[in-house]
Structure 1
Amino acid sequence: MPGVAHFVTPFTYDSLESLHAAVNGLLPREIRVREISPTCPEFHARFSTKSKIYHYKIYNHAIMDPFQCQYAYHSVYKLNPEVMREAALHFVGKHDFSSFANASHNDRSPNPVKEIFRFDVVEMGHMLQLEVDGTGFLFRQVRNMVALLLQIGREALPPDIIPEILAARDRRALARYALSAPPHGLCLMSINYDTELLKPPAGSPAISFGRIHTVSKCKLPFY
């Protein structure tokens, strides 16, 4: 899962490569910093975003693929992708998503109005991949939207229930029909930032992409 973080140092660096190597040396093997770049003081990893793309994977088969169990939600109920696509279109556009947000102690009165550019349901064999692209998302918003689409895909609810729940602007309106989908099917695929804020200030050190160690190739005889 990709991610972006920012931090402020009390001094400047002539080169970022040694810092890059040191950070990766301290992190566990499952986490790697792929790039370190200087940026302007106004940049914020969270609040400077223009849009984000999330994917949620659902494995829709009676028997779960063991290689997917950590990365996809297992639905033993047969889902109808067509009605899920019809329902997902109700999320597209600018809406108040208060009904699809869980309370978070980390948010400071977040703006509940977000814009969804697209919400696709892609079939890949037994896998359904829900792809949502928007300006931003409230706490657990994507998982709550997926949970409702699962109920609609099981044909337990009609697609046009979504406008009704959106209009309520109350989390309890959704809670009557669905709980949050589990987190392991969710993946943040990409983050789009304002390119002007990503430009390094004048006199900054070069971007570090990590040290690349070249291994010499030895020629082996063929028999």
Structure 2
Amino acid sequence: MQRIKLIIAYDGTNFCGWQLQPELRTVQGELEKAITRITGTSVRVHGSGRTDSGVHAYGQVVHFDVDDTRVTVPWQRALNSLLPDDVTVLDAEFVTPDFHSRFNALRKTYTYTLWLENNFFLPWRRHYVWKCGPLDLKAVDRSMQFFLGEHDFAAFQNTGTPVSSTVRTIFDFKRYPGQSEHEMVLEVCGSGFLKQMVRNMVGCLVEVGRGKAEPETVRLLLQMKDRTAAPATAPAQGLCMAGVYYGETGSGGTDTGRNQAHNSGINGEV
């Protein structure tokens, strides 16, 4: 058997998330259908992490195994000819048998895009941004700094996926301009992310930016470890899985996405 690693991008608008679900359209399901059409046998695809319904990706990493007879298949071109328009393969390569898209990952990066204008909204951006309105960006910047480092993120985890620990490390958290002057992108890189953790962090930052909470609120919530005390979860459509980093010894792994991103193999993603 040969192991293949893919980097994929998808528009999550019309998907019920990444993971297979009976009778529902998922990214994993579409990929497995396309691969099966090429191999003639059922193939299981393993992703670097899960994304919820409506969440996008341009750096999702997956792997799967095929028979040695399929090594000559031009996998990127073949899959893109079979996949629907809202998912595409950005890169395909053979990797060593010990490579695992989830367990070998070292860092992950996610982005979240905000629409900062209240007076109008570009309708074609509705599936890719959160129309939150104007924010105090200095307060947002101060708040982001409290997330950096190793913390217990229990206050920023939604229920649904059991984990052995809610401690994670955030390596970088920054913002930069979006596609227009009315958009802002938040980018976070961490060792792993709990269920809807990024969306919960963004929800808190927006509350601070609106003046409904103080920047110190982030530090207090991290200390309290109480999800019920934290602001509401940000909408799914602004979130995008930007990339995964495996390092030089990651059995063929490389940087993917806009920046390095890290996940130490823990499931229960944003």
Gaps (5+ residues) in structure 2? 1-56, 254-270
Aligned to 1:85: 141
The answer to whether structure 1 residue 111 and structure 2 residue 168 are counterparts is: no
Q: CA deviation at 1:97?
A: 0.8
TM normalised by structure 1 equals: 0.79
> Conserved in 2, the CA contact under 8 Å of 1:100 and 1:145?
yes
- Greater than 3 Å deviation, 4+ residue runs: 10-14, 19-22
> Conserved in 1, the CA contact under 8 Å of 2:98 and 2:251?
no
> Conserved in 1, the CA contact under 8 Å of 2:176 and 2:184?
yes
Aligned length: 193
Match of 1:13 among 70, 84, 95: 70
Q: Partners in 2 of 1:91 and 1:70 — Cα distance?
A: 27
> Conserved in 1, the CA contact under 8 Å of 2:112 and 2:239?
yes
Q: Partners in 2 of 1:49 and 1:32 — Cα distance?
A: 21
Match of 1:94 among 150, 174, 184: 150
Cα RMSD (Å) of the superposition? Answer: 2.0
> Conserved in 1, the CA contact under 8 Å of 2:111 and 2:240?
yes
Between Structure 1 and Structure 2, the one with more strand by share is: 2
Q: Partners in 1 of 2:83 and 2:248 — Cα distance?
A: 28
1:116-195 aligned at under 5 Å gives the runs 116-123=170-177, 125-174=181-230, 178-195=231-248
| Larger relative contact order (CA 8 Å, sep ≥ 6) | 1
The answer to whether structure 1 residue 64 and structure 2 residue 121 are counterparts is: yes
Gaps (5+ residues) in structure 1? 201-223
Q: Partners in 1 of 2:144 and 2:88 — Cα distance?
A: 34
C-alpha spacing 1:165/1:133, structure 2 compared with 1 (3 Å): same
- Secondary structure of 2:125's match? coil
C-alpha spacing 1:110/1:193, structure 2 compared with 1 (3 Å): farther
> Conserved in 1, the CA contact under 8 Å of 2:99 and 2:252?
no
TM normalised by structure 2 equals: 0.66
Q: Partners in 1 of 2:67 and 2:159 — Cα distance?
A: 35
> Conserved in 2, the CA contact under 8 Å of 1:40 and 1:197?
no
> Conserved in 1, the CA contact under 8 Å of 2:76 and 2:89?
yes
- Secondary structure of 2:108's match? strand
Query: Structure 1, residues 15-71: CA drift from partner, whole Å, max 9, x if none?
Result: 231x44443333112211232212122222122211111111111111112232221
Whichever residue aligns with residue 68 of structure 1, its letter is: R
> Conserved in 2, the CA contact under 8 Å of 1:49 and 1:191?
yes
- Secondary structure of 1:150's match? helix
Aligned to 1:4: 61
Q: Partners in 1 of 2:252 and 2:143 — Cα distance?
A: 40
C-alpha spacing 1:67/1:173, structure 2 compared with 1 (3 Å): same
